[in-house]
Every structure is written in structure tokens, then in C-alpha cells.
Structure 1
Amino acid sequence: MIDLESVCRQTQKIAIEVGSFIKEQQNKINANVIQNKGTHDFVTYVDKTSEAKIIEALKPLIPEAGFIAEEGTETTTGEKYNWIIDPLDGTTNYIHGFSPFAVSIALKKDDKIVLGLVYEISLNECFYSWDGAPAYLNNKVISVSEANTLETSLIGTGFPYHNFEQLDNYMELLKYLCINSQGVRRPGSAATDLAYVACGRFDAFYEYGLQSWDVAAGAFLVQQAGGKVCDFLGESDYIFGQEIIASNSLNFNEIKNCVQKFMLK
């Protein structure tokens, strides 16, 4: 039987070590080392090297585990366990010298996430949890906020950068939230946004066009910290379904209904 706490502690060390490498390389980033994977979708040697470092360090922890990783460094699929990795969530922020940007690592057992970690590099903040444990930030237990209405909630989101089919609906929702909440923020790293919901800095978060490595760890942290997560339909396909709503349990229904009103037209 795998000791998830021990694996999580070792994963922390890996993420922090790789985070140091990412930070050290930041002043070396220029136009010559930036590649375009698609519309507004960038990658650098730092992303690729960091992913390789993470994968090689994780392999001994659970030898039978496979990997779902953004840069495709390793594509082996595990029968029971699979790591879901974003080596550098917020690459656009990173190449512009803007924060936040983060390492995101989750462990999936069968169809369930059992470990999640988000290391926000600029502030040296490591958010983590494992199945059966609370959520932590740098060894302190964290929990979602107690905002109980949309009116008292600060909302996090992300702007679409390649799928613009729902942009008009998204902008209508954004306008509504600007008027009817305490404000909307767009930091540029979905993994960090979800970690901020987990620790109560954001009262809710929503976004579409996301991948599994963007949300797997952060969504798990929200749940471990007492929050709720769903897709835009209110169901559980938020890891691979490319859309997510996350909030505390008090404002969840109001936030969900609000997103659905505009995004499910």
C-alpha cells in the first residue's frame, strides 16, 4: 500500500527544487528560446527541461505510475496510478517577468485524484494535500473562505486564449460579475487560482478551455480545503472536460447558477 503522505512530502521537495531552477532561468528568457505551440500558447526550454526533471524524480516514488504531462516528455499510461503534471503553469506570465507561475502535480488513482500540489514559485508558496488529509500551505492547514453570497465574493477567472467560440457569453458573464461581486481578478495561472480558492484568497473561480494538468491538483486542493468543484453542467467532468467552477460550499450554488446562466446559453 502506498504511503500518500510520504509521497506527497517527497513531491514537495521535487516541486521546490524544480521551482528554483525555473526561477534561476527567468532572466535568460528571450525571443530566441520561446516557441509557439498554438495561438497565444507558448513554451520554452524551461517548461520542457522542468517537466523532464519532475518526471525523472517522480518515477522512483511509484514505479508503476504513468504520466499525463503538458509537454509530452513521458506518455506511458499506468494501469492504476498516473501523475498529471504542468511543469510551468503560467508560461506567458513567466516569459514577461510577471507573477504568478507555478508547478502543478497531481496523482490520479483509477479515476480519483488522491494527491495534489501547487507550488507558486514567486512567493515560495507550496499548497498540497493527499487523500484523507486537510489542505496545507507551507505546513499550515488552510480552508476555503466563508463568503456566502456572490455580492461578498472575490472571483478569479482566466481569459480564453484559443477557443473564442464562447467569448461573447464569457464577456456578458464578466460584466455581470463586475457589477454584482466584490470584483474579478485574472492572475494568469489556473493552478494558482484554484490554490487561492483553497486558502480563501478567492471565494470562487471559473474558466473554460483548460486542460487536465491546469486543474487536477488545484481542484483537489479546493475539495480538501472544504470547497466544491464542478463543470459548467454542475457535474464532475472538470478535470478532462475543459471547464471548471470552484468555490466554497456557502456560495457554490449561487456561483454555479450564475455561470450557467451565461455560459450554457
Structure 2
Amino acid sequence: MSGPTKPLYTVSGKSFTAVAISTAAKAGEWIQTRLGQFSKLEMKSSSRDLVTEVDKGAETMIRNLIRTHFPQHAFLGEEGVGGDEEDLLTPERAEQAEYVWIVDPVDGTTNFVHGLPFFSVSIALAHRGEVIVGVVYDPVRDELFVAEKGKGAYVRGKRARVSEEATLADSLLATGFPADTDRNLPINLLGIRHLATRSRNIRTIGSAALHLAYVSAGRLSGFWELGLNAWDVAAGALLVQEAGGRVTDTAGRPYRLTTRHIAASNGAIHDELVSELRAANATGYEPPSGGQ
């Protein structure tokens, strides 16, 4: 684990990125030891939206480790555990905060529950609504993706670059199956049906953070999904941008912490991807594209 814990960068004289790397590595190592050993499974919004004591324990661990270094910083976490009301924010409030850590302790909980080894720890730091540090760590493969605003993206310590596909027809895309089965899932399925015949192929591995990390590393040409949250995508969005790609909402508008419907790509295929989602009525916005 020496690679992920090695401090790589500093921001404004503070080792924000080093803390994010070390914290993700420690949490990921603990999460992996719990694979197949969790004792309590709960459902949140639906039977597709799961949480275990491992998710909650990992978020508490991450929060405590970060607060050791930055006690005044706020948090936005999927499970919302281990904090006072005033420093656990909503995405809307997070956009106004000076510094807020955005955490998904186990992105891919359903995979984790079933023993499928595709899940990740996602940690981002935003400054007044702009993501400045992003770390996605895959503990199973000991694979670390790191990005810092203006300093590029890295995977396993080497510079990450998005793929070079110039058309959707040559592209390998990824998406997911939203937990919201009443609205977002049917709409996302429209996009899958439409894009399956207009791209090289489509993959889904059950972790938005890993999908975005793979776009940044050039393994996927693009990714879209509806109904995501800041903790699912904040770190990955910075990875894609710093690797030379593009991230917007599915209507093509700039990414924000409040964005729920995400489109990310190598940049070259982005306009075509968004256009085809619009043609399939699969953006998640009422036509013409409405607000978030």
C-alpha cells in the first residue's frame, strides 16, 4: 500500500491531496477486509439502494481521519454519519462552503454486498463549489486515481489521458441502472437502447466513480447516468477534466455539485453523446431541457 499513501501534491501550502490519498488508502484497505463479512444490510430509497455497516463505518473513519488535519472543514457524505448538523451539508449548501469534503465510502455497495470486486472509495475536496482535489481508490486492484485542479490526473502515479476516439461509433461507453425505478431507470434505459446501436458497445460495472476514473484513464470513451449525487461523481469529474476530457449534465451544461444527470467523455465525442441522449429523450430533463 506504499503507493497510495505517498504524498504527491500540496494545494496552497496545505497537503489536501496527500490527506485524501492516505485516507482513501486506509479506508479502502479496511473495506476490503470486510468483503463478504458485513452483518447488517439496510435498504434506503429502494431494494436497489443498499447500505451496510461497512459503508457507515468507512465514512466515519474517513471523516475522523480528515478532521484530524482539517477540523474546520465541512463534509458532504452519502451516509451522513458521524457529524454535527452544521458541518454535514446538502449539495446546495456545499456550493457555498469554503472547504467541503465530498465522500462516498463505498461506491458500488451492491457489488460489495454480492462479493463482486468492483467498488471504490471516492473522496473529493471542493472550494466554494469548485472541486480542487479528487481521489478514487479501487482497493481490490490497489489502483489509485488522483487529480488536482490545474495539475493533471494520474493513475498508479502515471499521467492519465482520455481516449482518442473521435466518433460515437468507435466509442466504448458506460452507464448504470439508477435506483429510482419510477423515473430515472426507465429514462436511462431509453438511452441504453438508443446508444447501443450507435456506439461500439456499452458496459456497466456498478460504480459511477470507477466509470469516471476509467474515462480519465482512456479505458472508456464516455459515461452517462441519471440520478447521481455529488458524492458519486465529484472526484471522478475532476479526474476526467484534468485528463483532458469533458463533464457536463446530460443537456450539455457545466457540471456543478448539484448536477444529478451526468455526461462525461474524452471531449471529442461529447457533443455527439449529448445530442444522441437528447434524441432518445434520455437526458432526464423535460424537453426543451429544463432546470435541475
Q: Which residue of 2 aligns with 1:27?
A: 36
Is it true that 1:194 corresponds to 2:203 in the alignment?
no
Higher strand share: 1
Structure 2: runs of 5 or more not aligned: 1-9, 288-292
Q: For 2:27 and 2:262, locate their aligned partners in 1 and report how far apart those are by CA, in whole Å.
A: 27
Are 1:15 and 2:33 counterparts?
A: no
Q: 1:60 is aligned with what amino acid?
A: T
How far residue 169 of structure 1 moved from its aligned partner, in angstroms, is 3.8
1:173 aligns with 2:191: yes
The superposition leaves residues 75-127 of structure 1 with CA deviations (integer Å, 9 ceiling, x where unpaired) of: 40584000000000000000100021000000010011100000012111110
**TM-score, structure 1 normalization:** 0.94
Q: In structure 2, what is the equivalent of residue 232 of structure 1? A: 250
Alignment correspondent of 1:81: 99
Structure 1 residue ranges (4+ consecutive) displaced by more than 6 angstroms after TM superposition:
none
1:160 aligns with 2:160: no
Label 1:101 to 1:167 Cα distance change in 2 as closer, same or farther (>3 A): closer
Q: 1:3 to 1:238 in 2, by over 3 A?
A: closer
How far off is 1:62 after superposition?
Answer: 2.5
Match of 1:52 among 46, 60, 80: 60
1:8 is aligned with what amino acid? T
The runs of 5 or more residues in structure 1 that have no matched partner are: none
Q: Alignment RMSD, CA only? A: 1.8
Distance apart, 1:176 and its partner CA: 2.2
- Work out the CA distance in 2 between the residues paired with 1:172 and 1:41: 21
Structure 2 counterpart of 1:215, one-letter code: V
Q: TM-score, normalised by structure 2?
A: 0.85
Question: Which amino acid is the alignment partner of residue 42 of structure 1?
Answer: L
Within 5 Å, which residues of 2 pair with 1:1-265? 2-3=11-12, 6-29=15-38, 32-39=39-46, 40-73=48-81, 74=83, 75=85, 76=87, 79-262=97-280, 263-264=282-283, 265=287
Offset at residue 70 of structure 1 (A): 0.7
> What SS does the corresponding residue of 1:68 show, helix, strand or coil?
strand
Post-superposition shift, 1:237? 4.4
Give the C-alpha shift of residue 129 in structure 1: 1.2
Instruction: Call closer, same or farther: CA 1:133–1:2 in 2, change over 3 Å.
Output: closer
Structure 1 residues 84 and 166, CA, compared in 2 at 3 Å: closer, same or farther? closer
Aligned residues: 263
What is the rounded CA distance, in whole Å, between the counterparts of 2:103 and 2:13 in structure 1? 17
